Structures are given as structure tokens and as C-alpha cells.
Structure 1
Amino acid sequence: MVSYKLGILHYVLDHVYGAFVHRTKLSTPFFSGGWGGSKLDLLESVIKQLFPDLASQTWPPSVINPVWRTVWETKYSCLREGVFTTPCTEQLLHALPPECHNARVAFLTPKSFSPQNMACVVHLAGTGDHTFERRLRLGGPLLKQNIATMVLESPFYGKRRPMLQRGSKLLCVSDLLLLGSATIEEARSLLYWLDNEEGFGKTGVCGLSMGGVHAAMVGSLHPTPIATLPFLSPHSAAVAFCEGILRHATAWNVLKEDGGIQKSSMTLEEVRERMRTVLSLTDVTRFPVPKNPESVIFVGATDDGYIPKHSVLELQKAWPGSEVRWVTGGHVSSFLLHNNEFRRAIVDALDRLPWKESTL
């Protein structure tokens, strides 16, 4: 009975937080600029072409050459920030706002170390995570366990936020697909850089919520086994925007009236069905099973108002051998209270990978 009441409390907290952030007039809704017109058509076409051939995606990805500066260093550790040109295809680059063309990363390592005897995990941003700090706090304690942290600033976020965008509220539906496509390409290039330029003995990718969806995609497409850690993450963005609390943060009436798709007479339900169809392109169950599913660990929340349990379980079912762990709480409370569980999952997933032969 006590656990049931606590679960209700966590679930209500998600809805209260969501109502305050998303249902008041304190901020603009998602997609107040509509569908995105020709950009959305382009992205749908590009992504649909990928699905039949996802298992044999081109490798290596575009090579990146980050320019680094030291932010601080202590006797034991060092934080650097790097900038590199996004490795997206020419089609995606033209669709991205100019502010998104340069990617930024933070790289937390011991002050002196041998990469071949260390692991490194790339941390991807959840919705609203504009800075490096939260993910550095998550990864920082892992230095003691020989795990470095690389944090990618997402396109459309932080210093890469377009001038007309308010906060995290993307202007167009096409921006959500652009954000995901660019993040995946950048993360893949960073992992290649960690593997081949730096020579880390093990690598992985993690993310919370939206970042977890992107982490799952990156882990799926990587040609060799890596640790893959989606936290509080749905199997598709359609779940978050069509089922979860974010449906209250979406400008449905604007989408209904957007003449860019020549369907201004659609009913609200038809608009939502259109959204489900578009966001089905983010359905990770359509992606290949990662090379080592045993090193995939999902962490879900028992009373998540944003991400229902069935969505977490759908992806785990699609990837036999992967593991689901549950933390007690909602989306917001788990985000705040369960960093130790997220860290434990990172350590365990990396432990299930072999070291590169050169480290033996």
C-alpha cells in the first residue's frame, strides 16, 4: 500500500511539473512553427531510405578533428571542451540552421592516463538539457572506476540553439528529426574518434529520455560491441508526444492549420495520427539489434508520467539479451534521485564488454 501511494505521488509529480512547464502560457509550445514544410518531406524521404539498409550503414563515419581548450585541471583530472564541424551529410547540413553547424563537446578524463586501459562513454542530451553540467555530474564520479565522460551538446540546444527558438521548444516537427539525425551522426563520429584516434579500450553511449532514444539508435548502428544505456527512454518519440505529458506541450492547432502539408481541413485526431506516422521514423524497434545486446541496459521508472512501462518493454523485447532495470519513481524524481543507479548500469554494461586485444 505504501509503495502504491508513493507511486501515485511520483506520477502526480510528473503531471504537476508537466502542467506548470508545458500547459501554462509561461512558454511557447513545441512546434509553434508547424510541420516544417519541405524540410519535413526531405527528412521523411531520407530516413525511409535508410531503414532497408540500416544494418549495413556506411562505416567509418565522417572523420572529425576537434579543436580543444582546457577548461580546468586538478592534480587528478582534466576537463576540456572541443569544437568540430558537424559531420552530417550535405543534405542535412543545408537543412540545419547555421547555429547548429559547429558541434561542442566536453571531455572529462584523468589528468594523465592510458586510453587503452580506460573506458569512455558519450552522454547525449535529454529534452531541455542545454548545458554540460548535469551530465558531467553524472559521469564525474565514474573517473574513480576508470571511465571517462564525453558530453555532446545537441543541435538546437545551448550555443547551438537557433535565434528564433524559445528554450527547448523546437519550432517545427522537422527540427525534431533534424536534431536526432545530427546527434546520431555526431555521436557515431565521436565514438569512432575515441576508438581509433584516442584508442580507448572500451566505449559506450548513454542518454536520458530523448537522449536515451538517440543512444539506442547509436548503439544499434555501431559496427562493434559497445555499452548502450537508454535511461527513462521510450522506444519512439511518438510515445512522448502522442501518449505522454508532452502531448500537452504540442501546438496541435497550429499543426492542424499549417497549410504546408495541404491538409488544413484535418481533424485534431487526424493531425495526431499524422504525428504518429512522422515520429514512427524514430521507432528504435525498427533498428538492428546491437552487436552485443548483453551490454544494453535500459533503466526505466516505475511510475513515469512521460514514458509508459510498455514502451520500455517493447524495445527490450525487440533486442533479446538486453536487460531492463527499474527505479522507483516518476520521470522527474528519477532524473533527480537515481544517478547512482544510472552509474551502476554504466559500469555493469561496460563490464560485459571485452577489452580490446591491445590492452591485454
Structure 2
Amino acid sequence: MVAVNVGAAHYWLDHLYGAIMHRMRLAPPFFSGGWGGRKLELLEQMSRQLIAQGLAQVSLQHWPPPAINPVWRTVWESRKAKLQEGIFTTPCEDMLKQVLPIESQTARVRLLSPRHVPIHETSFVVHLAGTGDHGFDRRLRLGGPLLEKNIATLVLESPYYGKRRPPLQRGARLLCVSDLLLLGRTTIEEARALLYWAETEEGYKKVGVCGLSMGGVHAAMVGSLHRSPVAILPFLTPHSAAVAFCEGILQYGTAWEVLMRDELLSGSMTREQVVERMRTVLSLTDVTQFPAPQNPKSVIFVAATDDGYVPDHSVLKLQQAWPGSEVRWVRGGHVSSFIFHNKTFQKAILDGLDRLP
């Protein structure tokens, strides 16, 4: 009998998936359109100003988030549950709207909620998308079983994804590096507005925000900026997008040669210099630069022991930045955990909400 190293098998499954998706070029690479020119300069400037002024102070100055007024239609309803779809104009500031694709300026959400249960007895969780998670179905499947615990699931379709995708973009492969920052900034503003809407307009008493991979990075940022206690549930999440694109498997799906040529306009750069430039740009997505959340005991990270996309040190850096938070480890890689550990994610959501005051 041949002994099998299960951990290594999970790790190599991530690499096999990455090889099929990225190295074999079955889809165009990320950032085939380059850095994004002046759009990237604008986003870098705005992000650095936020960090320089102190995010905690800025979040207070920008509190409450802009009001939203979703327009709803019922998709289906049963004796115990109801699924609604809503749209609203993104609440991003005008300067961002000027560079955001028109297709991405209308936010789309789906809300799965229990029927015949008073709002004040129902919890509410916003689910944010990971890389490549178009539409709503996967996250609705994650939230569906939580209806029995009177937890409503709201799924936000990311800008640049699904019906919000610009016509020249293929799949999840963003055309420019600036698009990644725009996607993140827009998602954060929309999710902040949704949490505030749920509390103040709808009357939910306990709210949370979760996400897997890229969605977990955004969930952590959203939760840290919220001014009342909120459950924060980042799953399979690095502390920064720089880890995913410069250290993890996504580096093999990145158009480094295009980025090198794009930088030649302002001076010749080597592959190593371009990677370092990417690290600098994506350091703006570093969650550890954001303020500690109001109730760190309601922060539960779920990480995989053999993740080929997110190294252990990145997860532990998040926990160290937010003392009092918890990390739960599952046996698996990024891909296998995404498929097989929904019950662990659901338990983290339940426990995070239970720890709210």
C-alpha cells in the first residue's frame, strides 16, 4: 500500500487547478490591458490619502454611509422563505463613478430571508464574492441552511462581475490593475451602505459580513470600518491582495510581460521590478492597515492548512493585527476547502453572530 500525504494532495490540487486555469492559458490572464494609466494614479492617490489621514478618523468623518434605496422584486417564495432581487445605484463618491464602468454603477443583490419571523428576531449577513464568483448561486447555497437559525443572507454581485461586467472583459479576468482597486473600493462602499441600511431602515439587531478569498479581504475591511459591533467572517483570506498575485498561484495568471511593456513608457523595468511595483500598489489592500473592529471576539477567520493561494503567515498576520479574533483551521487546500467545508463556514457565521452583544 502506498501512503498518501493528504496535505500535499490538497496543496497540489490547488496547483493543478492553477495550471489548468492559468498556465495553460485557457482564459486570458489578469491585467492584459496594463496598469490602468491615470485611473491607477487617481486610485493610488485617494487610497494613500485615506491611510495617511488615519482610517479610523476617516471612517468617522464618512459616517453614516450614503443612504441607499433598493428597488425589490420577488424571485420566489415558499411557506418558510422568500428570495428577492434588488437594485440600487452604487453609493460611491462622484470621483470614483467617473472612472467606474457604466455597467458596474448599478448594484445588484439577492436577499434570502425567513418568512413569518419578526425582523428583530432575524440576523442579517452580507456575503461578498471571491475571485470568479459571478452571480449569486454559490453564496445563496452557503447561506440557505442558515434560514433554520433565522439568519437572512444578502448576496452582493461584485462590480466587474456578472451583469456588472464591462463588455471587453472576459470572465473574471480584469483588464487593468486599476480595475482591481476599483472593484474593491466599490464593493466596500456598497457593503457598508447595505449593513447600515439593514440596521437602520430594516431593523435587524445582529448583522455580519463574510466573504471567501478576495471577498474575505473586502469583508474584513467593511467590518473594520463599521461603527457598531458586527460579525466579521473572512474565509480562506490573505491579509492583502499582494499575497495572492505576487506569492500565490494567481501570479501564474498575471500578464507580467504586458505590465513590463506598459512600464517601459516611463522607463525600462525588469520582471522583478514590476512584481515589486505590483506589491506596492496592492499594499493599499492590506487589511492590517485598517482599524481594529468594534468587537474582535466576533471576528472568526477560517483558513486552510494546505492552501496554495494563501500562505499561513498571511492568515496569522491578520489575527495578530486584531487581538481577540479567532482562526479556525480546516484540513485542505484553497480549492478543496471551497468545495467541502461549507459547514465549517456556516458554523463560523453562527458563532460570530452569537458573540455580538
Identity within the alignment, %: 68
TM-score by length of 1: 0.96
Match of 1:127 in 2: 131
How far did residue 23 of structure 1 move? 1.0
SS in 2 for 1:68: strand
Q: Distance in 1 between matches of 2:316 and 2:119?
A: 35
- Residue 233 of structure 1 aligns to a residue whose secondary structure is coil
Structure 1 unaligned runs (5+)? 355-360
Is contact 2:114-2:151 (8 Å) kept? no
**Equivalent in 321, 324, 327 of residue 324 of structure 1:** 327
Aligned 8 A contact 1:35 1:260 in 2:
no
Tell me the CA shift for residue 130 of structure 1: 0.3
CA contact (8 A) 2:263 2:269 kept: no
CA offsets 1:82-124 (integer angstroms, 9 cap, x no match): 0000000001101101110100000000122211111100000
Question: Which residue in the other structure is 1:295 paired with?
Answer: 298
Partner of 1:208: 212
- In the alignment, is the contact (CA less than 8 A) between 1:36 and 1:260 conserved in 2? no
Give aligned pairs, total: 352
Instruction: Note the alpha carbon deviations across 1:40-83, whole angstroms, 9 max, x for none.
Output: 00000001111133102111111000000000000110000000
1:239-258 alignment to 2 at 5 Å? 239-258=243-262
Task: Tell me by how many angstroms 1:201 deviates.
Answer: 1.1
Displacement of 1:184 in angstroms is: 0.1
Alignment of 1:81-120 (within 5 A): 81-120=85-124
Cα-to-partner distance string for 1:8-39 (whole Å, 9 max, x where unaligned): 00000000000001111211000000000000
Q: Please say if 1:181 is aligned against 2:179.
A: no
For 2:54 and 2:214, the matched residues in 1 are separated by 24
Q: Is the 8 A contact 2:65 2:196 kept in 1?
A: yes
How far does residue 262 in structure 1 lie from its aligned partner after superposition?
1.4
Q: SS at 1:148's partner residue?
A: strand
Q: How does 1:276-315 map to 2 (within 5 A)?
A: 276-315=279-318
SS at 2:5's partner residue?
A: helix
For residues 218 and 197 of structure 2, the distance between their equivalents in structure 1, rounded to whole angstroms, comes to 18
Question: Is the 8 Å Cα contact of residues 37 and 261 (structure 1) preserved in structure 2?
Answer: no
Find the counterpart in structure 2 of residue 358 from structure 1: none
Q: CA deviation at 1:318?
A: 0.4
Using the alignment, how far apart are the partners of 1:131 and 1:253 within structure 2? Answer: 31
Cα separation, partners in 2 of 1:175 and 1:3, compared to 1, 3 Å: farther
1:348-359 residue pairs with structure 2 within 5 A?
A: 348-354=351-357
**Counterparts of 1:330 and 1:222, CA distance in 2:** 31
State the one-letter code of the partner of 1:89. E
- Tell me which residue corresponds to 1:8: 8
For residues 4 and 182 of structure 1, what CA distance do their matches in structure 2 show? Answer: 44
Distance 1:223 1:25, change over 3 A: same
Alignment pair present for 1:171 and 2:172: no
Aligned to 1:50: 50
Partner of 2:23: 23
Residue in structure 2 matching 1:268, options 268, 271, 290: 271
Q: Distance in 2 between matches of 1:260 and 1:142?
A: 52
- CA spacing shift, 1:3–1:44, aligned 2, 3 Å: farther
Amino acid at match of 2:120: Q
Q: 1:186 to 1:260 in 2, by over 3 A?
A: farther
Tell me the alpha carbon deviations over residues 309-348 of structure 1, each in whole angstroms, 9 at most, x when there is no partner.
Answer: 1000001000000000000000000000000000000000
C-alpha offsets along residues 237-257 of structure 1, whole Å, 9 cap, x if unaligned?
000000000000000000000
User: Structure 1 pair 81/333, CA: closer, same or farther in 2 (3 Å)?
Assistant: same
Distance, in Å, in 1 between the alignment partners of 2:226 and 2:322 is: 15
